[in-house]
Structure 1
Amino acid sequence: MRAAIFRDGQIVADTLPDPVPAAGQVLVKTLACGICGSDLHARKHAHRMVELSRHLSNGRRPMDLSRDVVFGHEFCCEVIDYGPSTQRKFKPGTRVCSVPGLLTATGPQSIGYSNDNVGGYAERMLLSEALMLEVPNGLPAEHAALTEPLAVGIHAVAKANVQGNEVPLVIGCGPVGLAVIAGLKLKGLHPIVAADYSPARRALAEKMGADVVIDPAKVLPFKTWAEHAQMTPEQKAARSPMQALLPALKPALVFECVGVPGVIQQIFEGAPRDARIVVVGVCMETDRSEPMLGIMKELNVQYVLGYTPAEFASSLHLLAEGKVEAAPLITGKVGIDGVAQAFTDLGNPERHTKILVEPWR
């Protein structure tokens, strides 16, 4: 089969042996797979990712960068055939999604950052039958492939412990930030304030549900946020005498969706007292922040990763039921031969937000 392979630090198109399903596994045809920002980070910071994985793996094997790796963990597939000890619950041709993990005799393994389990940048791959979900309501494969990134945003909002009286600020409107905006809209939390340097991404943020969009090059995000976070006269009157000494602002809920060094420090500097900060962006480099700022402001910082299986399943149904619109996020499609160029093209936010790999294209 053909695949776009991470080899010697580059993405190359080549052939690999077809995978063979083991007990409980299913051979599937990859229909569509999104290129994730984490994949871009992995190509650039692969050695750092391996170092951290080795430190945190709890016995699981990190990627061996001297061997081939096939990225791709945002996928929709079609059932081809079953391995032994399977229930064959879906007919061949059924479109399915799955969390990007494989259940094996030695324990769970990742899909997409593994030497042994190819990801969605390949024509075929393996899934665990127990983890597969049928795509409902005739949802197109290209939209079903966005289940995984949407689940990241849904999980981030869930971990934010929303009380209902906050005014959210989303810093960064790439795919992760847009998924967070969709999750906040589903919670009914308004106004949603979003900031990004890219006009194209600001326009997408509005489509996904942001009420106020900001260009940080022209306006300070927290200044605009404060304008939309003023307490009502009733809320001001209900404050205690000590609270009345503080600015009359509603609680701040800040989502860091950029993942580059320096952003967390900027949020520490701009955030109001008692703000809750949810770090969703994945920064692969060493970063620094001033703890004293967090101490003096009593900031609450929550780091998040991935999603639960229930959140993944819920995200698939949100897309299938039209509660979240996927189409605006898709800005390009490529076959296997176009993956390397797509990695470069995604560096321009004015051109692309989410490029899908369609291996049979």
Structure 2
Amino acid sequence: MGEDMRAAIYRRGELVVGTFADPIPEAGQVLVKTMACGICGSDLHFCDHAQEFTSLASRAGVAAMEVDLSRDIVLGHEFCGEVMDHGPSSDSRLKPGQLVCSLPVVLGSPGARTIGYSDEYPGGFGEYMVLTEALLLPVPNGLPAALAALTEPMAVGWHAVEIARVRPHHVPLVIGCGPVGLAVIAALKQKQIAPIIASDLSPDRRDLALRMGADAVVDPREDSPFLRAQKIARPVGIGGALSNSVLSKNQLVFECVGLPGMLRHVMDNVSEEAEIVVVGACMQPDSIEPMMGMFKALTVKFSRTYTGEEFAEVLQMIAQGALDVSPLVTDVIGLSDVPATFDALRTPGAQAKVIVDPWR
């Protein structure tokens, strides 16, 4: 290591490739060499709406996401790294060379901070990071770093399905088959919940949805995914007759797009007593009609990341092959390609999860 590392840096409204001071581990921290880091839709949202992002975090009382936008910020919170060195007062339980994942939180002298959204601790779009030793999870079974880095986004989908409390009569509908929607589909499939219906404008993403476990896919320009879900719903009553009252209670929708107007669109089109889980991160103000929710007796629930236990469980499932995440990796790039890739990802296409390898 020298005095400065290479990194893709959010610098006063622009994403640039430059140098950032090498992080130095404090007490209880570990220095890791970043081996892989996924690009998340939240990274794109932060670059486009940084002021709104930080303002919302402050209003919500999330102190771990306090950030000074006038300073350089190294994004990246979906990472896998290799242990390099230990700070003072660490127990050194994980030796140099061990691949590790971690919750994207570091505990240090300023308090808890979110990795990838901090001006004090660099994220995974740099060559090195410091992580909290107590939060490290060793990567098992020789799992490659690029797949281990998918633990974080897969845990987001797993948590959304966990809080949905899926019941036997539910027919899950996933709106949006980007990385978040695909993670939800994979979690539903792993839990053997079927049939799963998925909707996306992109034929490539619809194909990926089928590979990840969806039973049927819909192009919303040609068919209503909400009506398709009703048609696919299987009879649960005696004699195979499925009444409208039963159909109306079958819809469980995961909104995974995260753009203004989508929640309102879903509320307009679901059946009565439908349950909606909002997983897509919309950074901009939006509007809904509360009376629509009241007329239909809808339940709307917002999903926020995951628990530490869920994160560890997902890493184990990926390593054991219970969650096959390999179809999600559609590209691996180096640091120099990050700004152009961010620009390309703003237009949804064939890409699912792009992995940044800082050493490529």
Q: Which TM bucket (shorter chain)?
A: over 0.9
How many residues align? The count is: 356
Partner in structure 2 of residue 14 of structure 1: 18
Map residues 33-52 of structure 1 onto 2, 5 A cutoff. 33-52=37-56
CA distance in 1, matches of 2:68, 2:118: 8
Q: 2:35 aligns with which of 31, 36, 46?
A: 31
Question: What TM-score comes out, normalization by structure 2 length?
Answer: 0.95
SS state of the match for residue 16, structure 1? strand
Deviations 1:166-216 (Å, cap 9, x if unpaired)? Answer: 100000000000000011111211100000000000000000000010000
Superposition deviation, residue 62 in structure 1 = 2.0
CA drift at 1:221: 1.0
- Does 1:322 pair with 2:283? no
Query: What amino acid sits opposite 2:350 in the alignment?
Result: R
Q: In structure 1, which of residues 3, 10, 17 is the aligned counterpart of residue 7 of structure 2?
A: 3
Q: Is the 8 A contact 1:229 1:249 kept in 2?
A: no
SS of 1:341's partner is helix
Partner of 1:345: 344
On the 8 A contact 2:80/2:101 being kept in 1, the answer is yes
Which residue, 225, 231, 234 being the options, matches 2:229? Answer: 225
- Answer with 167-176 or 5-14: which moved more: 5-14
Return 145-154 or 63-72, whichever deviates more: 63-72
Counterpart CA distance in 2 for 1:167 and 1:307 is 23
| Secondary structure of the structure 2 residue equivalent to 1:21 | coil
Matching residue within 88, 96, 99 for 2:103: 99
Q: Which residue does the alignment assign to 1:265?
A: 264
| Residues 293 and 86 of structure 1, relative CA distance in 2, 3 Å threshold | same
Letter in 2 for 1:313: A
**1:73 aligned to 2:73?**
no
**1:154 equivalenced with 2:158 (yes/no):** yes
Aligned counterpart in structure 2 of residue 170 of structure 1, from 149, 169, 174: 174
The 5-angstrom pairing of residues 51-62 of structure 1 reads 51-57=55-61, 59-60=63-64, 62=66
CA distance in 2, matches of 1:351, 1:236: 40
Any residues of structure 2 matched to 1:243-322 within 5 Å, and which? 246=245, 248=247, 251-322=250-321
- CA gap of 1:281–1:335, structure 2 versus 1, over 3 A, is same
Cα distance change, pair 229–245 in 1 and its aligned pair in 2 (3 A): closer
Query: Is the alpha carbon distance of 1:14 and 1:274 closer, same or farther for their aligned partners in structure 2, counting shifts above 3 Å?
Result: same
What is the distance in 2 between the residues matched to 1:61 and 1:272?
37
| Residue pair 1:23, 1:85 contacting (<8 A) in 2 also | yes
Contact 1:167 1:250 in 2 (8 A): no
Does structure 2 conserve the Cα–Cα contact (< 8 Å) formed by 1:201 and 1:349?
no
What is the CA deviation profile of residues 38-66 of structure 1, one whole-angstrom value per residue up to 9, with x for unaligned ones?
00000000010111122123555622111
**Structure 1: distance between partners of 2:35 and 2:86:** 18
Q: 1:248 to 1:347 in 2, by over 3 A?
A: closer
Residues 249 and 274 in structure 2, CA contact (< 8 A), matched pair in contact too: no
Separation in structure 2 between the aligned mates of residue 4 and residue 59 of structure 1, nearest angstrom? 24
The whole-number CA distance in structure 1 between the counterparts of 2:21 and 2:245 is 65
Report if aligned partners of 2:230, 2:247 keep a CA contact under 8 Å in 1: no
Moved over 4 A (4+): 58-61, 247-250
Residue 212 to residue 120, structure 1, CA distance change in 2 (3 Å): same
> Which secondary structure state, in structure 2, belongs to the residue aligned with residue 153 of structure 1?
helix
What is the match of residue 63 of structure 1? 67
Give the stretch that moved more between structures: 27-36 or 267-276: 267-276
1: CA distance, partners of 2:286 / 2:267: 13
The farther-off stretch of 10-19 and 199-208 is: 10-19
User: Secondary structure in 2 aligned to 1:226?
Assistant: helix
Letter in 1 for 2:223: V
Q: Structure 2: 5+ residue runs without aligned partners?
A: none
- Letter of the 2:235 counterpart: M
Q: Which residue of 2 aligns with 1:127?
A: 131
2:131 aligns to what SS in structure 1?
Answer: strand
Shift of 1:105: 3.9
Deviates more, 1:36-45 or 1:264-273: 264-273
Q: Deviations over 1:270-290 (max 9, x none)?
A: 111111100000001111111
After superposition, where does 1:194-205 map in structure 2 within 5 Å? 194-205=198-209
Partner of 1:112: 116
What RMSD over aligned residues (CA atoms) do the two structures have, in Å? 1.6
Separation in 1, partners of 2:65, 2:148: 29
Query: Normalised by the size of structure 1, how large is the TM-score?
Result: 0.95
**Sequence identity, in percent?**
51
Paired AA for residue 14 in structure 1: G
Deviates more, 1:139-148 or 1:248-257: 248-257
Distance 1:110 1:60 in 2: 5
Q: Compute the displacement of 1:164 (Å).
A: 2.5
